[in-house]
């Protein structure tokens, strides 16, 4: 199971690389806006952090594009910036078509905004390098997501598609574990979600308890 950070904050990415052995990054227009920097500036800064590694950075095309030719043109421009870039495309008809064309050109794509298993299946058969089912949004909408992920994993395995499944819009440690049990390849989550998931209040209670015993015990 690989962990990607869903962020465009350089300081968060640096911390996650150093402390968590982060496997990659996903960005989206919301994260880029939150970074407070222009799009091209921030994606180049993130690319620099990963130079010399094979860790992927997902970078999203202009979400106003509804024509696959415009998506492909921007994808080519972005892919030329860094070999780590995987191009995020929306799961709409033009997005799937762009995946197919980019595959021919050797450019990897990440189909994003996937909310149904049928969307994921089509993305995989068109050759998406990553497929990103969003579970947080579905759960906010009262939908079940464990079988959603299980179905996508099963179809990928049934047909031997090479796509990796990124469970996205993850809000807590429980969802990280659910994604792992369902057989997803990757989870992408925000900095605070990982921080909380890697911790537990009882660990601190136990540590304090053991420190007290330690302090009452001679070392030699």
Where on the chain is the footprint of ligand E4P (CB under 6 A)? 6, 26, 28, 30, 112, 132, 134, 136, 168-169, 188
d(CA 142, CA 157): 28
- Best CA proximity match to 168, nearest among 88, 51, 106, 85: 88
d(CA 19, CA 191): 12
d(CA 16, CA 218): 38
Instruction: Name which of 96 and 130 has its Cβ closer to ligand E4P.
Output: 130
Nearest approach, Cβ of residue 89 and ligand E4P (Å): 12
Give buried/exposed letters for 187-201 (b at 16+ CB in 10 A, else e): bbbbbebbeebeeee
Nearest approach, Cβ of residue 29 and ligand E4P (Å): 9
Distances (CA, A) of 53 to 36, 103, 202, 215: 26, 21, 36, 44
Rounded to 5 degrees, φ, ψ at 45 are: -65, -45
Say which of 55, 88, 97, 138 is annotated catalytic. 88
Nearest approach, Cβ of residue 59 and ligand E4P (Å): 11
Distances (CA, A) of 42 to 123, 175, 192: 28, 29, 20
Q: SS3 of 6, please?
A: strand
88 noted as active-site residue: yes
Nearest approach, Cβ of residue 96 and ligand E4P (Å): 17
Instruction: Name which of 47 and 86 has its Cβ closer to ligand E4P.
Output: 86
Nearest approach, Cβ of residue 147 and ligand E4P (Å): 20
Instruction: Name which of 1 and 159 has its Cβ closer to ligand E4P.
Output: 1
Instruction: Name which of 82 and 188 has its Cβ closer to ligand E4P.
Output: 188
Strands (E), 30-84: 57-60
Instruction: Name which of 22 and 169 has its Cβ closer to ligand E4P.
Output: 169
Instruction: Provide the annotated active-site residues.
Output: 88
């Amino acid at each position: 199971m690989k962990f990607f950070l869903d962020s465009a904050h350089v300081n968060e990415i640096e911390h996650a690389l150093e402390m968590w052995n982060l496997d990659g990054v996903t960005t989206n227009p919301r994260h880029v806006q939150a970074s407070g920097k222009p799009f091209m500036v921030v994606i180049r800064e993130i690319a620099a952090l990963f130079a010399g590694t094979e860790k992927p950075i997902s970078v999203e095309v202009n979400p106003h594009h509804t024509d696959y030719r415009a998506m492909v043109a921007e994808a080519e421009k972005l892919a030329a910036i860094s070999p780590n870039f995987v191009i995020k495309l929306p799961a709409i008809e033009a997005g799937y078509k762009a995946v197919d064309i980019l595959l021919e050109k050797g450019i990897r794509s990440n189909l994003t905004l996937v909310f149904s298993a049928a969307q994921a299946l089509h993305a995989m058969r068109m050759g998406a390098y990553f497929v990103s089912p969003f579970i947080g949004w579905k759960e906010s909408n009262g939908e079940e997501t464990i079988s959603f992920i299980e179905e996508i994993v099963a179809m990928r395995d049934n047909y031997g598609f090479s796509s990796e499944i990124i469970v996205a819009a993850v809000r807590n440690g429980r969802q990280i574990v659910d994604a792992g049990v369902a057989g997803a390849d990757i989870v992408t989550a925000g900095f605070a979600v990982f921080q909380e998931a890697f911790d537990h209040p009882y660990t601190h209670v136990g540590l304090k308890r053991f420190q007290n015993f330690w302090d009452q015990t001679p070392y030699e």
